[in-house]
Structure 1
Amino acid sequence: MTRVFADRETKTRYDLRFLLHSGEPLLLTEDATPPDPTLSAAPRLPASARLPINRCNLPADILGGLTYQQHPVPLQLDGVRNFHQALFATLAPLSRRDERSAYFVDYMTVHFCLEDLEEAGFTPGPRKKYRCNANYLRMVRGWSFDSDGREGAVLKHWVETRFGLLARHHGGPLDGRDSDAYHAYLVQGSRGLYATNALEAQLDLLYTYCQYELELAHPGQSHLRLYRGINRIDEHEVLATHPGQRYQVLLNNLNSFTSERERADEFGDYILETQVPLAKIFFYNRLLPGMLKGEDEYVVVGGLYEVGISTF
């Protein structure tokens, strides 16, 4: 799989940081840059939290690690941007966000035949129509209502296949891939995907469009400071602790955050705060008109994060 870097120097620095944080032996040639003493060793993403393959330009052990959180590079799902290059060529001259979002919704409707299900290959029938109506909008709205429901299982499964990060929680801890809880999660996700209309391809394009909009909204920016209300830090898998209420935690493979600290306080006694790479934002409620309501929600791909904990 090809990594995307702006230049060779950026790639060299990124690989060096990853080796330093991974604990792997580091061999320096005469012209190599020496290790930066300010970079300290950090926990690696556990093998039990990732898959050996995925469908994007970085493997899971890198994109799910702390080094990536601190020094992110763009993530690209295999072939999606190229396959839909006509869409992004049309969006490029549009200066207004509402114009772009309206065109994107129209493109999704036409490309995936969302309003002409027989054209998409479905035969008439109320049950079949219900299943093929399970589109990208229904998935993200279902997530907002209940992230541990069927739609949440579909989205977490999508993250597993695209980014290689395994779900850690769904209605309770998922204790290993051989556990009953994990099998129940797989069944729920499979039922959510069954007889749908290229649903995972719809989610691929939604993520890619989200990244396109984030680049326009935050030029030259790599992170957003986001917040999450919690009641106890042990709700998360803590791998290391540091002074000043700083923790290194393994988040679920998909998580809800908000950009408004005051709203996070409504969901717990403590506030988890972290810097989220833009490349790890799957979607947010202002991306499309009427897509989500309520708090200013950002749905974030997980992995290892350094976080702070505070009271309001």
Structure 2
Amino acid sequence: MSDAAQPTRRGIGHSTNLVGRPSEWLASCAFNDSAVPLHIWGVTEMNPSLFTMLDQAEHLAEAGQAFSSYMMAMFGLDPEQRTGQRRFRSSFLRLIQGWGFDSNGPEGAVLKGWVESRFGLGPSYHKEIIERVASRAWTSYVEEKMSSRFHNNAIWVQLDLLFEFCQWAIRRFAFPDETHLTLYRGVNSFDEHWIIERTTRREAVMRLNNLVSFSSDRDTASCFGDMILTARIPVSKVVFFNSLLTSHALKGEGEYLVIGGDTRVSVDYV
């Protein structure tokens, strides 16, 4: 890790959100240490039939099938649909697939926009560093996140349901006794990650993007960069993980989509 100090950068965010926790706290190491549960207001209350079905599931695969069936009924999602059809219903599945190809593409902007809306954390990077609202980088991000091609089917509501299902699945099946997960991220440089504080030569506090990919497998993470970031992530910040659904998973083995912010990491070299 370079000894050169990075200039202080101020994150972009909102004082309000839909999870009832201060946005500044959500973006802090203090929140990561606390492991407080997160819930988006009104999602479980407005969808009681979904969670009744989920409670009847005997394993994660069965719960995933129930969730997929509910989403298909609610939003007309068809796994076989293609963009070439006359009308394409935007889908959380399409966004996840697009993120897997390029997290800085239009689908990535929509996902980052959802995090901004629901958790109050703005992105710090989308194609380039975003340091202020009045900038070319911010304008480009906003144009992509609000693209009408992705907002014709209540896409943020779909993502709300995905997050609540993910949190339910973590508590019920995937990691019922865990408050944190040790995850890994491969990087070639720190262009997308702001070093807030150097604690030791190999440890630092970094400001991760508001949505970021990690892997549960260190060897898999090493395929994406010469440096490996290791972080202890609270389960309440996990939006999606590879085995949550039996199909349309992220391309990387053991891949996780995680809400970012200031995070303690250790840095090792491959």
Describe the SS at the equivalent of 2:131: coil
Pair 241,286 (structure 1): closer, same or farther in 2 beyond 3 Å: same
Residue 259 of structure 2: aligned partner: 301
Query: Is 1:230 equivalent to 2:158 in the alignment?
Result: no
Q: What is the DSSP-based 3-state SS (H/G/I as helix, E as strand, rest coil) of the residue aligned with 2:223?
A: helix
Q: Counterpart of 1:213 in structure 2: which amino acid? A: A
Contact persistence 2:28–2:262 (CA under 8 A): yes
Match of 1:103 among 54, 60, 66: 66
Deviations 1:240-294 (A, max 9, x none): 1112411011110000100000011111111000001101011012111122233
Q: Residue in 1 aligned with 2:50?
A: 87
Aligned in 2, Cα 1:248/1:197: closer, same or farther, shift over 3 Å? same
TM-score by length of 2: 0.90
> 2:246 is paired with a residue of what secondary structure?
coil
Compute the displacement of 1:206 (Å): 0.4
2:53 alignment partner AA: T
Unaligned regions of 5+ residues in structure 1, if any? 1-45, 116-124
Match of residue 150 from structure 1: 106
8 Å CA contact 2:19, 2:38 repeated in 1: yes
2:162 is the counterpart of 1:206: yes
Query: Is contact 1:249–1:305 with CA below 8 Å preserved after alignment?
Result: yes
User: What residue identity is the alignment partner of 2:154?
Assistant: A
> Aligned residues: percent identity?
37
SS in 1 for 2:126: coil
Distance 1:192 1:269 in 2: 38
Shift of 1:220: 2.5
CA contact (8 A) 1:193 1:199 kept: no
Tell me by how many angstroms 1:90 deviates. 1.6
Q: What is the CA–CA distance in structure 1 between the aligned matches of 2:149 and 2:156, rounded to whole Å? A: 8
Which residue is equivalent to 2:231?
274
Name the structure 1 match of 2:6.
none
Give the secondary-structure state (helix, strand or coil) at the position aligned to 1:49. coil
Which aligned pairs between 1:254-293 and structure 2 lie closer than 5 A?
Answer: 254-292=211-249, 293=251
Paired with 2:196 and 2:239, the residues of 1 have a C-alpha distance of 24
Instruction: Tell me the equivalent position of 1:166.
Output: 122
Q: Which moved more, 1:215-224 or 1:193-202?
A: 193-202
Q: Which residue identity lines up with residue 191 of structure 1 in the other structure? A: S
Matched, 1:70 2:26: no
2:181 and 2:121 map into 1 onto residues whose CA distance is: 21
Structure 2 contact 216–254 (Cα < 8 Å) conserved: yes
In proportion to residue count, which structure has more strand? 2
Question: What does residue 177 of structure 1 align with?
Answer: 133
Structure number with larger C-alpha Rg: 1
The amino acid across from 1:209 in the alignment is F
Larger mean Cα displacement after TM superposition, 81-90 or 148-157: 81-90
In 2 relative to 1, CA 78–247 (structure 1 residues): closer, same or farther, beyond 3 Å?
same
CA distance in 2, matches of 1:82, 1:163: 19
C-alpha distance after superposition, 1:198-242 (max 9, x if no partner): 111001000110011111221221100000001234541011111
User: In structure 2, the residue corresponding to 1:111 is in which secondary structure?
Assistant: helix
The RMSD of aligned alpha carbons is: 1.7
Question: Which one of 138, 152, 161 corresponds to residue 196 of structure 1?
Answer: 152
TM-score, with length taken from structure 1: 0.78
RCO higher in 1 or 2 (8 Å CA, sep ≥ 6)?
A: 2
**Structure 1 Cα separation of the partners of residues 197 and 183 of structure 2:** 20
Check the 8 A contact 1:56/1:163 in 2, yes or no.
Answer: yes
Tell me which moved more, 157-166 or 80-89.
80-89
| AA of the residue aligned to 1:205 | L
Task: List structure 1 segments (4+ residues) > 3 angstroms apart after TM superposition.
Answer: 192-195
